[in-house]
């Protein structure tokens, strides 16, 4: 009931632009408790409500420090990214670290991919570095961010790191295949596929690998598709899977 009242109060505050009511809400947060939903609503007070001022980012960071630390604000992608962006722009990696500590895996992945799509690979790497438990799926998300930024050298560094830690899977290798296709580096592309073949098992080239190869081959040399079909068979991948 308390949470519902707080959420309703925030909605009313934003609708009315009532700065006095906004301050009243903040005064009661620490005593009434704050769920993730309430924390997200409070961020909205700064983004779209009466707490919005000339320095929105500074206001958001101040709200987090004083009232919202420990809340999983990334449950709301838009408000969560407002907070992360504010922290990154102001060098507040302590806030990013606390956010990643409580974020779900899917929220961490979504943030990395979003930063990559904005060509902010450096920030994506900063976020990755403070994730509490780097995993195969997180490395794959970071690789996707590298590809979105078309930075094949950064992708190679991530791939090397994931491999050295035993956290590379077939998705990791396929993402590198895509990276080399994007930049037209056929030598490293073939080396990656050969590495997959030599390791075999769960790392062997699969239908996704050959989807990428066939798509690129059709655009440049349609006759080469038949050689790829033979290679698929030698890898135990049926052509009708593609």
pLDDT by residue (tens digit) across 68-122?
A: 999 999 999 999 999 999 999 999 999 999 999 999 999 999 999 999 999 999 9
Which residues have CB under 8 Å from 231's CB, separation 6+? 210
Q: What is residue 90's predicted lDDT score, i.e. its pLDDT? A: 96
Q: Which residues of the chain have pLDDT under 50?
A: 241-242
Which residues have CB under 8 Å from 21's CB, separation 6+? 9, 12, 13, 50
Q: What is residue 242's predicted lDDT score, i.e. its pLDDT? A: 43
Candidates 60, 52, 112, 114; CA nearest to 87 is: 60
Alpha-carbon separation of residue 67 from 31, 32, 80, 115, 239 (angstroms): 10, 11, 15, 26, 57
Which residue in the block uniquely carries the two structure tokens 């939903």?
Answer: 37
Candidates 18, 66, 71, 77; CA nearest to 45 is: 18
Q: What is the pTM of this model?
A: 0.84
Which residues have CB under 8 Å from 173's CB, separation 6+? 192, 195, 196, 203, 209
């Amino acid at each position: 009931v308390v949470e519902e009242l707080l959420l309703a109060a925030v909605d009313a505050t934003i609708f009315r632009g009532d700065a006095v009511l906004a301050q009243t809400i903040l005064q009661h947060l620490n005593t009434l408790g704050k769920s993730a939903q309430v924390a997200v609503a409070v961020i909205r007070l700064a983004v779209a409500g009466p707490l919005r001022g000339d320095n929105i980012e500074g206001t958001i960071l101040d709200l987090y420090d004083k009232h919202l630390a420990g809340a999983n604000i990334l449950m709301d992608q838009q408000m969560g990214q407002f907070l992360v962006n504010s922290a990154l722009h102001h060098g507040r990696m302590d806030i990013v670290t606390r956010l990643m500590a409580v974020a779900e895996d899917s929220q961490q992945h979504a943030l990395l991919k979003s930063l990559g799509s904005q060509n902010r690979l450096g920030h994506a790497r900063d976020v990755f570095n403070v994730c509490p438990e780097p995993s195969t799926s997180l490395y794959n998300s970071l690789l996707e961010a590298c590809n979105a930024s078309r930075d094949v050298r950064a992708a190679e560094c991530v791939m090397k790191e994931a491999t050295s830690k035993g956290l590379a899977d077939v998705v990791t290798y396929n993402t590198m295949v895509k990276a080399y296709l994007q930049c037209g580096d056929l030598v490293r592309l073939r080396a990656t596929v050969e590495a997959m073949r030599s390791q075999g098992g769960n790392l062997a080239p699969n239908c996704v690998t050959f989807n990428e190869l066939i798509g690129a081959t059709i655009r440049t040399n349609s006759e080469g598709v038949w050689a790829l079909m033979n290679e698929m068979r030698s890898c135990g991948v049926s052509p009708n899977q593609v």
